[in-house]
Structure 1
Amino acid sequence: MASADLAPSRSPTDLFGDPIDDSSPLWFKKDLFLSPDFDSESYISDLRTFVPFDTLRSQLHSHLSSLKHELVDLINRDYNDFVNLSTKLVDVDSAVARMRAPLSDLREKISAFRDSVEASLVSLQDGLRQRAEAANAREVLELLLDTFHVVSKVEKLIKELPSVPADWSNGDLDVVEKNHLSNGISLQDTESESNVRETQSMLLERIASEMNRLKFYIAHAKDLPFIQNIEKRFQSASRLLDASLGHCFVDGLEHRDENVIYNCLRAYAAIDSTGNAEEIFRTTIVAPLIQKVIPHGSSGLAGEASGDQLEADFQEIKQCIEKDCTFLLKISSRGMMSYRRPFIGQHILV
């Protein structure tokens, strides 16, 4: 009787279920099934290298039976609590209703706040867009104002130049030379004439600098109606500047006025018109020198000229270059090194 009392109690599953064998081979690791990165295909592939497939299948079936047994035990152990759960849940709907009301209020507040934030965001984005448009409009307006001021300044500076004949705007430098004596400047007063030339060259350099600014403004706003309306004024000022600058440069070359030539070269560089300066130097200095050494009409005798004559002409040309052309190289080296070689080397020796 005592032995019967000491016998352990056994569950129905132990009596009528499948036999459970807790012993498992060493190669069968149950913990691997609980690993987060468990892969069944890799697991079977690794074991088949040294475990027969039938043995592996039998062991897996045994493990499945063991898991089912544990699941039944867990359900039977807490079955009474599970059955009594429905009796303990009293007035659940009322509790849910009480919780739903504040949650609904919170949801409405969050929705209203979200709508307010979205409206503020849209308003802010619209304000930023308007601000960007206003900034762009301000930049364009400032550009137009600067353009207008520069045009007016250029026209005012051009009016401060000595009397400019109408033919200057057409680039007729011969007429300019003929009218040069009618400017009211006494040819006998050389010092006064030199001062006038230098003042004029400095003024032309200033005008050229302003014209360079004006070209920059026009290039950045050429499609605007305002710029198109002042295009004629710009072209007129440009023609007057070219004619006045050409006359001043010729006058400086003829009088070997270094300051005047230097200022004129800087003005040509400012308006990116060094080609005009090269052409004036060619026609004013180089062409007369070549004509003096090789008079026009003697080309027909070139074939009959002796080697000594050609050598003499060549030496004379070199002397003329040294005497009448090298001075420009020295002047340009004062501040226009970038224009020295193409200006001198390309056209003097042609």
Structure 2
Amino acid sequence: MSNRFYFDDDDSSASSDDNLPYPKPLTRASFLTPNFDPTTFLSTLHNRHQTLEDLRAELRTRSQDLNKELLDLVNENYQDFLSLGSSLKGGDEKVEEVRLGLLGFRREVEGLRGKVDSRRGEVEGLVGERKRIREQIQVGRQLLEVETKIGELESRLMLASTGARKGEEDGEASDVDDSDEESEEEEEGNGITVSKLRRHMEQYMYIRRLFEKIGDEHPFLVKQEERVLRLKQTVLLDLNSALKQAVAGGEERRGDLLKLLGIYKQMGQANEAMKVLKESKQ
């Protein structure tokens, strides 16, 4: 190639020499480095045997090739874009099929939701029913306990209204219980010991607490009010008799007197005790 020059660091031009090697074409990778800088790129060509005109021509050719590639790429993608409409031809039918499928699926989901809500209501109702049954069973057990405790206290107080019935149910069991209790407690004259009176009072108060726990308005308890009132009157009658005997006993029975007053207080009948004390003094 004629008029070829050699570029060195001093930017000096060498005389043409046909024996110099022909420069290799510029590679595309040379322009793909990050942060490409033209000045830096030209400085790497100081050992390249090529005239400036030839270098400009090569760079111009490279630029044209790149522009052509870019144009071809745009045209190719544009053709694909234009053909997109034709490729979607008939897609309305598929979209309609998908829409109908989704509507059917939605109806199925709503149907299942209705069934689930219905079943949930049934389960909640059954749970509530089980809870009510358990509460009724508990109340039934408490009512049974009320009947048992009333019967036991009536037997201990030897009330005539239920003595025959207890005898029929328990046979000779009542006689055995009474004999055992009499052997445990020591009678003071014709009266009842303070400890036995306290037990009677505690049994009566326990029955009253059961009434409060269940509810006094319960039909069964309403029917038992007469029996419970008779128990109360009998317990108070025994307490009054024992209190009068304690007052008559003077200082020797002072301890029993205080214990009896405590029993009255626990029973909530302190006024009844004061009434008996006044009558005894008179």
Query: So what's the TM-score if we normalise by structure 1?
Result: 0.44
Do the aligned residues in 1 keep the contact of 2:187 with 2:193 (CA within 8 Å)? no
Residue 247 (str. 1) matches residue 241 (str. 2):
yes
User: For residues 259 and 123 of structure 1, what CA distance do their matches in structure 2 show?
Assistant: 66
Q: Does 1:265 align with 2:261?
A: yes
Q: Which amino acid aligns with 1:269?
A: K
Q: Tell me which residue corresponds to 2:98.
A: 99
1: CA distance, partners of 2:266 / 2:122: 48
Structure 2: distance between partners of 1:258 and 1:158: 25
Aligned to 1:211: 204
Q: Give the drift of 1:243.
A: 0.9
SS in 1 for 2:193: helix
CA RMSD after TM alignment: 3.1
Quote the residue 2:139 is aligned against. 140
Superposition map of 1:26-105 within 5 A: 87=86, 89-105=88-104
- Is the 2:153–2:203 contact (alpha carbons within 8 Å) kept by the matching residues of 1? yes
Corresponding position of 2:124: 125
1:266 is displaced (CA, Å) by 3.1
Instruction: Write out per-residue CA displacement over residues 286-343 of structure 1, whole angstroms, 9 at most, x where no aligned residue.
Output: x45xxxxxxxxxxxxxxxxxxxxxxxxxxxxxxxxxxxxxxxxxxxxxxxxxxxxxxx
Paired residues for 1:289-300 under 5 Å: none
C-alpha distance in 2 between matches for 1:110 and 1:266: 73
SS at match of 1:275: helix
Deviations 1:154-202 (A, max 9, x none): 1022129xxxxxxxxxxxxxxxxxxxxxxxxxxxxxxx764875x5321
Give the fraction of aligned pairs with identical amino acids, expressed as a percent.
Answer: 15
Paired residue for 2:224, among 226, 230, 234?
Answer: 230
Shift of 1:213: 1.8
- The one-letter code matched in structure 1 to 2:207 is L
> Which protein has greater RCO, CA pairs closer than 8 Å, 6+ apart?
1
Structure 1: give runs of 5+ residues left out of the alignment. Answer: 1-79, 161-191, 289-350
Tell me the TM-score normalized by structure 2.
Answer: 0.54
> What is the alpha-carbon distance in structure 2 between the residues aligned to residue 93 and residue 258 of structure 1?
109
What do the CA deviations read for 1:83-107 (whole angstroms, capped 9, x no partner)? 9876553002221133235424432
Q: Following superposition, which runs of at least 4 residues in structure 1 exceed 4 angstroms of deviation?
A: 80-88
Deviation at 1:148, TM superposition (A): 1.0
2:240·2:273 contact (CA, 8 Å) conserved in 1?
yes
What secondary structure does 1:230 align onto? helix
Distance 1:283 1:235, change over 3 A: same
